[in-house]
Amino acid sequence: MPRIVQLPPLVITKIAAGEVIERPASVVKELLENSLDAGSSRIDVDVEQGGIELIRVVDDGCGIAAEDMKLAFASHATSKLSDVEDLFRISTLGFRGEALASVGSVARVTLQSLPAGAAHGTEIQCEGGQLSELRPWNGTPGTRIEVRNLFYNTPVRRKFLRTQSTELGHVSETFTRLALAHLQVHWTLRHQQKPIYELSASAGLLDRIQHFFGREIRDQLYPVEAQHGPVRLKGFVADPACDRGNSKLQYLFLNGRWIRDRSLGHALQEAYRGLLMTGRYPVAFLFLDLPPDQVDVNVHPTKAEVRFREGNAVYHLVLGAIREQLRARNLTARLLPPSTLAAPQIANEPPPWSLMAPTPPSARLPFGADVPTSTSPPPMDFSTHPAAPAPSIPATNGARAIQLYDTYLVLETAEGMLVIDQHALHERILFEQLKARLREGRMESQALLIPEPIDLPAEQASRTLEKSGELGELGIGLEAFGGDTLLLTRYPAILGQRSPVALLRAVVDHLMTRERVPQREQLFNDLLSLMACHAAVRAGDRLAPDQIVALIEQRRLAEDTHHCPHGRPTALLFSRNDLERQFGRK
Ligand code: ADP
Ligand code: MG
C-alpha cells in the first residue's frame, strides 16, 4: 500500500509555481504587479528571447529593506497582508506572497534593492530555490530584478514554451493590460534592447489605446461613465462598425487589475444586441472601481477571475451605461449597411463576379493603369467549368426567379417553391471554386499598388506573421513593417472590389480565436471559407437579372450547395404539396 509522506518545501513551492508561472508573461505580470504595489512612478522592462532567457524589471518604488530580502523569496511571505480580515479588503495587486518564491524555484533570479532613504542597498540571488548570501549593492533607489533561464530546472515546462515571438506576444499583452490600467506610471518595454513601447506618465488612456491598438480604434470610441452607489464605471466602447471576430479587444479592469468575467462579458454583448451580426464582438475598454470589500479577488491563482458581492448590480450598471451610450449615438439606423466596402485600392481590379469567369491573363491590364471599372458587374460565364449537375438539386432554368428584399431569390421548381439565400449560396460556390484552385495551384492574387499598413497588437502581429507562408499560398502577401505594423502587399483576386484589409482583419481574428494553431488542412479550409464569405454577394446587394440567372445556374455545378461553408442552409424548399394542402386544395 503506498504510504503518505509530507512533501518537502521545495516540492510544494514548485507545485505552486506550476499554477502561477506558466510562461515568461506570467513572470512579467508578477514582477510588474510588485513594482506597482511598491508605488513606482517609472517601470522599465527588458526581455531577451521572448523572456525565456531574461526578464529584467527596474522600478523606482519603495524598495525592500535588507532584512526582508531573504523573506521576499519565502513562500507565503508578504508585506501586503497581516490578518485574515485584510484578505477581504485587498487593495494591492499581490497578497499571496507566492510569486517570488515560485519564480525563484524555476529560474535564476537576482534581486537588488535600495529603499528610499536607506544608506545602502543589498543584493541576493535565488537559483532553483537556493538563496545566496546578502551582498551590498550600490544602485538607484527602487528595485531591480533579473530572471534568467526560466524553467532551466523543469525541462518539461520549458518544452511547452512556444516560439520567441509568441512568448514575446504574451509578454507585450501583459504589459499592455497593466499600462492601460496604470496611467500614472512611465512605462517602457524593450526586446533584445530594441524599444517596443514607451509611454510617458502624461500619456492618457486614449493616447495609450492608440499607441497599442492604432488610430482606427481610437477614432471610433465613445466614452462611458456611470455610477451606482460605491460602484463606478468608466472607459470607452467602440462603434459597432469596429467589431471583431473574437473578444480579445474587450479589456475589463477591476480596481486596476485586468480581469475576465463571463457575466460582464455577457452584459457587454447584450448592450450591442441588434447592432452586431452573430459571432461578432464589440471592442471595449472598461474600468470598474469598487470598494475592496465588495469583491473577492482570492478565487483564482493568478487573480484573473473575481467574485462580486453584488454581481447583479454591476451587470446592470455595465449593460445600462453602454446601451445608453449606443442609443444616444442612434446606431440602429446603421444596422447591417448594404455595403461596408472600403474604396477600391487599385483601378483595374476585377469585380467580384469575374472570378467565376477567370479573365485570361492576356486580357489583364497592367496594374495601376487608369481604367475605369464598371459599376455593374458583368454577367457570369461558366464556360470554364465542367457541367456536372448534382442530381439532388431541383432543376430550374432560373429565368423566373425574382429577388426579394435584395437578399433572397425565389424560384419555381417541379417540387415546389425554392427560396435561396443569395449570400449563403454564392459563398458556397466560391468556396468550392477556391478549393479547386488551391488544389491546382491556381490561386490568383493582385498586388496592391500602394501596400496597405495595418496596425495590430503585438501578439496578433507576431501570430499572423508566423502564418505568412500559408497566407501567401492563399494569395495574401504580408511583410513586417517595423513595430507592430504589417504591410499587406497582395490579396486574393477573388475579393475584387471588396476591402482586402477587412479580409485580413477577419483572418487575424480567426488566428487569434484558436487556442492551438489548426492543422494545415483545417487552416486552409477555414481561411478559404472566410475568403468566400468576404467575396460573396451580401444580403442587401441588388442583383441584375443576368446575375440572378448566373448564380442559380452555378448552383448545379457545385458539389454541395445545400449548406454554406459555415453550415447554414443555402435554400429552403416549400413543397408544392404543402402549398396545396395549406390552401385547402388537397
Ligand atoms: P506578494 O506580492 O503577493 O506580496 P511576492 O512574492 O510577489 O508576494 O513578493 C513578496 C514581497 O516582496 C512583497 O510582499 C514585497 O514586500 C516584496 N517585493 C517584491 N517585489 C518588490 C518590488 N519591486 N518593490 C518593493 N517590494 C517588493
Ligand atoms: Mg507579488
Greatest mean pLDDT range, 75-79, 272-276, 346-350, 377-381 = 75-79
> Could you tell which of 29, 32, 93, 100 is best to mutate to test the pocket of ligand 1, judged by most ligand atoms within 8 Å of the CB?
100
User: Is residue 497 in contact with ligand 1, taking CB distance under 6 Å?
Assistant: no
The H or E element spanning position 403 is strand 402-404
The H or E element spanning position 36 is helix 24-37
User: Is residue 62 in contact with ligand 1, taking CB distance under 6 Å?
Assistant: yes
Report the separation in Å between the CA atom of 46 and the middle of ligand 2, taken as the mean of its atom positions.
18
Q: From the alpha carbon of 95, which atom of ligand 1 is closest?
A: 3
Beta strand 42-48 with 186-191 is parallel
Report the separation in Å between the CA atom of 99 and the middle of ligand 2, taken as the mean of its atom positions.
5
Cell of 140: 538607484
Distance from chain centroid for Cα 77: 36
Cell of 237: 466602447
Q: Of the ligands numbered here, which is closest to the C-alpha atom of 79?
A: 1
If you take atom 2 of ligand 1, which residue's CA is the nearest one? Answer: 94
Percentage helix, strand, coil for the chain under 3-state DSSP, each rounded to 5:
35, 20, 40
Q: From the alpha carbon of 143, which atom of ligand 1 is closest?
A: 23
- Using left for φ > 0, alpha for ψ between -120 and 50, and beta otherwise, residue 235 falls in left
> Could you tell which of 34, 91, 95 is best to mutate to test the pocket of ligand 1, judged by most ligand atoms within 8 Å of the CB?
34
The percentage of the chain sitting over the pLDDT mark of 70, rounded to a whole number, equals 85
Q: From the alpha carbon of 102, which atom of ligand 1 is closest?
A: 6
Residue 114 to residue 116: CA distance in whole angstroms? 6
User: Is residue 298 in contact with ligand 1, taking CB distance under 6 Å?
Assistant: no
Report the separation in Å between the CA atom of 114 and the middle of ligand 1, taken as the mean of its atom positions.
14
User: Is residue 72 in contact with ligand 1, taking CB distance under 6 Å?
Assistant: yes
Residue 40 to residue 142: CA distance in whole angstroms? 8
User: Is residue 265 in contact with ligand 1, taking CB distance under 6 Å?
Assistant: no
User: Is residue 143 in contact with ligand 1, taking CB distance under 6 Å?
Assistant: yes
Report the separation in Å between the CA atom of 182 and the middle of ligand 2, taken as the mean of its atom positions.
16
Distances (CA, A) of 30 to 9, 114, 171, 178, 202: 21, 20, 12, 11, 25
Residue 569 to residue 420: CA distance in whole angstroms? 9
DSSP string across 117-177: T-S-EEEEEEETTEE---EEE---SEEEEEEESTTTT-HHHHHH---HHHHHHHHHHHHHH
Residue bearing the bigger pLDDT, 162 or 258: 258
Report the separation in Å between the CA atom of 529 and the middle of ligand 1, taken as the mean of its atom positions.
50
Mean pLDDT, rounded, for 95-99: 88
- Nearest by Cα to 176 from 447, 528, 459, 492: 459
Mean pLDDT, rounded, for 124-151: 97
Q: What is the SS3 assignment for 427?
A: helix
Q: Is the pLDDT of residue 282 over 60?
A: yes
Q: From the alpha carbon of 57, which atom of ligand 1 is closest?
A: 23
- Nearest by Cα to 20 from 84, 80, 75, 90: 75
Which of the 8 DSSP states describes residue 273? T
Mean pLDDT, rounded, for 110-126: 96
- Mean pLDDT for all residues in the chain: 83
Greatest mean pLDDT range, 20-24, 65-69, 415-419, 457-461 = 65-69
Q: HEC profile for 174-219?
A: HHHHHHHHCCCCEEEEEECCEEEEEECCCCCHHHHHHHHHCHHHHC
Report the separation in Å between the CA atom of 78 and the middle of ligand 1, taken as the mean of its atom positions.
6
Cell of 564: 454554406
Residue 547 to residue 532: CA distance in whole angstroms? 17
Burial class (CB in 10 A: 0-12, 13-18, 19+), 402: exposed
Q: Is the pLDDT of residue 549 over 80?
A: yes
Q: Is the pLDDT of residue 349 over 80?
A: no
Longest C-alpha distance within the chain, in Å?
A: 102
Report the separation in Å between the CA atom of 6 and the middle of ligand 1, taken as the mean of its atom positions.
28
Looking at residue 527, what is its pLDDT? Answer: 87
> Could you tell which of 36, 37, 81 is best to mutate to test the pocket of ligand 1, judged by most ligand atoms within 8 Å of the CB?
37
Distances (CA, A) of 190 to 38, 201, 263, 277, 336: 22, 17, 36, 39, 42
If you take atom 14 of ligand 1, which residue's CA is the nearest one? Answer: 78
User: Is residue 78 in contact with ligand 1, taking CB distance under 6 Å?
Assistant: yes
Q: Is the pLDDT of residue 522 over 80?
A: no
Mean pLDDT, rounded, for 58-75: 96
Looking at residue 358, what is its pLDDT? Answer: 26
Mean pLDDT, rounded, for 181-206: 96
Cell of 453: 499598413
Q: From the alpha carbon of 61, which atom of ligand 1 is closest?
A: 24
Sheet of 485-492: strand order equals 445-455, 485-492, 477-480
Cell of 561: 450547395
Is 13 in contact with 101 (CB distance < 8 Å)? yes
If you take atom 17 of ligand 1, which residue's CA is the nearest one? Answer: 72
Residue bearing the bigger pLDDT, 365 or 167: 167
User: Is residue 34 in contact with ligand 1, taking CB distance under 6 Å?
Assistant: yes
What residue type is assigned to position 516 of the chain? R
> Could you tell which of 67, 78, 110, 113 is best to mutate to test the pocket of ligand 1, judged by most ligand atoms within 8 Å of the CB?
78
Name the one residue in this structure whose C-alpha cell is 419555381. Answer: 412
Residue bearing the bigger pLDDT, 95 or 321: 321
Q: Is the pLDDT of residue 197 over 50?
A: yes
If you take atom 19 of ligand 1, which residue's CA is the nearest one? Answer: 34
The alpha carbons of the chain give a radius of gyration, in whole angstroms, of 29
Mean pLDDT, rounded, for 522-543: 88
Phi, psi of 569, deg, nearest 5: -70, 150
User: Is residue 528 in contact with ligand 1, taking CB distance under 6 Å?
Assistant: no
If you take atom 23 of ligand 1, which residue's CA is the nearest one? Answer: 35
Q: Of the ligands numbered here, which is closest to the C-alpha atom of 65?
A: 1
Looking at residue 380, what is its pLDDT? Answer: 28
If you take atom 21 of ligand 1, which residue's CA is the nearest one? Answer: 34
Report the separation in Å between the CA atom of 80 and the middle of ligand 2, taken as the mean of its atom positions.
9
Q: Any long-range contacts for 546-550 (C-beta under 8 Å, 24+ apart)?
A: 546/379, 546/380, 547/353, 547/377, 547/379, 547/380, 548/398, 548/401, 548/403, 548/409, 549/397, 549/398, 549/399, 549/401, 550/353, 550/356, 550/379, 550/380, 550/381, 550/382
If you take atom 16 of ligand 1, which residue's CA is the nearest one? Answer: 79
Burial class (CB in 10 A: 0-12, 13-18, 19+), 204: exposed
Cell of 309: 458581492
Please enumerate in sequence order all residues whose Cβ is within 8 A of that of 521, keeping only pairs 6 or more positions apart, or say none.
none
Mean pLDDT, rounded, for 263-283: 85
Report the separation in Å between the CA atom of 463 and the middle of ligand 1, taken as the mean of its atom positions.
33
Give residue-wise pLDDT tens across range 203-249: 999 999 999 999 989 999 999 999 999 999 999 999 988 889 889 99
Report the separation in Å between the CA atom of 310 and the middle of ligand 1, taken as the mean of its atom positions.
30
If you take atom 13 of ligand 1, which residue's CA is the nearest one? Answer: 78
User: Is residue 94 in contact with ligand 1, taking CB distance under 6 Å?
Assistant: yes
Distances (CA, A) of 11 to 75, 114, 220: 12, 31, 51
The percentage of the chain sitting over the pLDDT mark of 90, rounded to a whole number, equals 45
Q: Which range among 20-34, 117-131, 292-306, 307-321 shows the weakest confidence by mean pLDDT?
A: 292-306
Q: Is the pLDDT of residue 435 over 50?
A: yes
Terminal CA-CA length for the chain: 78
Beta strand 284-289 with 250-254 is parallel
Residue 380 to residue 409: CA distance in whole angstroms? 17
User: Is residue 96 in contact with ligand 1, taking CB distance under 6 Å?
Assistant: yes
Count of alpha carbons within 13 angstroms of residue 475, beta-carbon side: 23
Cell of 72: 521576499
